């Protein structure tokens, strides 16, 4: 079945540093979504990427979808303490758009 791998598992940064998490799928994806889960909270949708090579920005967050539609990345510029949480990528490749989540990257930010 479809597998989605995410690295790193953990990342600790000083406030103001940049952060990147990477996502790789074992199969070609029809789309990829990114979610953020705060400690003790539930996943919250950030964005969806559909097109090959697509790049989308949300303020300090930049999302990319690879040309082969098998990998993606999330980059945060100048992290803030409010960025703390686990970032999940979730890929969809089937006709029913079933999402397969990666294990997530836990980001902690030292003020």
CA 33/CA 50 separation, integer angstroms: 9
For the segment 56-85, give every residue that binds another protein (CB under 8 A): none
96 contacts another protein (rule: CB under 8 A): yes
Contact 37, 45 (CB under 8 A): no
Measure the CA–CA gap between 38 and 106, rounded to whole angstroms.
9
Residue 102 touches another protein, criterion: CB under 8 A: yes
Binding-site size for another protein (CB under 8 A) equals 24
| Chain residues in the site for another protein (CB under 8 A) | 4, 6, 30-31, 33, 41-45, 48, 50, 88, 90, 92, 96-104
């Amino acid at each position: 079945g479809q597998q989605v791998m995410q690295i790193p598992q953990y990342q600790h940064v000083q406030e103001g540093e940049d952060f990147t998490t990477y996502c790789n799928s074992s199969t070609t994806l029809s789309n990829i979504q990114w979610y953020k889960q705060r400690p003790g909270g539930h996943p919250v949708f950030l964005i969806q990427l559909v097109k090959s090579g697509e790049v989308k920005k949300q303020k300090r967050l930049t999302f990319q979808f690879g040309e082969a539609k098998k990998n993606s990345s999330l980059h945060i510029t100048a992290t803030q303490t409010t960025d703390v949480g686990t970032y999940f990528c979730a890929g969809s490749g089937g006709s029913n758009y079933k999402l397969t989540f990666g294990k997530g990257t836990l980001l902690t930010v030292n003020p």
